[in-house]
Structure 1
Amino acid sequence: MKIKSALYEFWLFGVKQAYACLFGGFLLAVMIVTRYWYPIEGLHRYDFIFLAAIAFQALLLITRLETLRESVVIVVFHIVATIMEIFKTSDSIGSWSYPEAYVFGIGNVPLFTGFMYSAVGSYIARVWRIFEFEYSNYPGKWATVTLVALIYLNFFTHHYIVDLRWVLLAFTGVLFYNTTVYFKISHTYRQMPLLVGWFLVALFIWLAENIATYTNVWIYPDQAATWSMVSLSKLSSWYLLMLLSFVLVSLINKLHIRRAPASISVVEAKQQ
């Protein structure tokens, strides 16, 4: 009976994760399909992805598969990500590029790119609601906000001064080393160190990035001649960016904090 229950819970966990990834999964599917089959003349592939993302978002809202709060997360991420994209893809920086033509864009950035980052924020907001997240030993708001502000700033400044990502990762470890996330799959809450959970999400994003670059959605300079896997070093960037996403979602969603049980008073101890 225990094995059957464990298998059911594992299956349900996968179903809920797939539901949380609905928007990101749709975007990735569109990228893959249009890479190998795109028959629409007069509409650039990048523009089609942009319009498809908007249409899918509207569908999620109309069918109530997404809440208004989650749509706010997507808008915020789109703005934050587009600003960073404009900087990163500028001619003077050139961290990566978008090799295909488009109409809907700003500078070197097609507008669909913001939705790729929004997919991360959408996933976090949805998984937060679906698994009814609770936390213990979660740091104070100002500490987390300061951390992610420095992370976002470092994405820009490391091109001109020393890269502080490893310092920021160390600060993240110190700040969250004792933080646990509790999530409900069926009826019982399970738990995991929050730092481990973030790593698993960052790893998944890195795998999705490999698929996206393989389908020519964007490319890094070392992929211009021929495709190669994205360096594992990018995991650190995705980890920090995912942390930024998580804290932004925490400012919109309510944090449910588990309090430690009160210690037994001296009088009660004597009575026992």
Structure 2
Amino acid sequence: MEKYLITKFTTKGANKITNEDVVETVIIDDGLLCILCDGVGADSEPEVASKITVTAVKNLFDASKQKDYLERIKETFVDANDFLVKYSQQKKDNNPMTTTLDMLFIKDGLAYWGHIGDSRIYYFKESSLIQLTKDHNLIQKLLDEGFLTLQQAVNHPSSHILLKALGKENAEGDFSKMRLANSGSHKFLICSDGITGLVTDNELQEILRNDSETVQNNIISLVRSRGATDDYSFILLEKVNDDWKENS
């Protein structure tokens, strides 16, 4: 069984009243499940949406009998989305509740993930950072269609507009898996846009060359130095040789 040093961090933005991000890690079927949700502030009760979604995802994934873990993640997305939609419909105001959702499950040398929204999952190995997920927002769509350059996308006023999120009818996520090398070290970073909106991929790549404690301190310091305009959260996994460890 793979062994990882687990570092979790979440806090509200500098001028925020509540933290709309939630992170969770749990051992299921002798594998490691990581969950990150960022409630969508434009909709109803984002801090509640992220919290109940993380709980629902954890319970749904654990209860599933599906042996194919990628299929289990897909099923969990569908069921969690149905749960969140029905929950919001039962509220007095009947306003939608939405959240990003990123799931990463590691077991037997394989990593499986599901993604919807603009939080991200990164993989770091041999000093190279790979973004495994693709943002479901207006800026990414404009980039894909050639209407914006990468330079124009930086600090764009429409960066907060999501095109996909959990809590919408028939929300469709992205899913994939990869085999992990038996030798050598690697890291995973799951983070909300409160980090990626202020820290570039090149900066994250340099930061991730360090040990987990230094990575945590450097990310937090950099985000705070740039105003911490949004809630910021991450889960950092670093492959180690002994038992599961957790820093939070």
Higher relative contact order by CA 8 Å / sep ≥ 6: 1 or 2? 2
> Normalized per residue, which structure has more strand?
2
> Normalized per residue, which structure has more helix?
1
Q: TM-score, normalised by structure 1?
A: 0.32
Q: Greater CA radius of gyration, 1 or 2?
A: 1
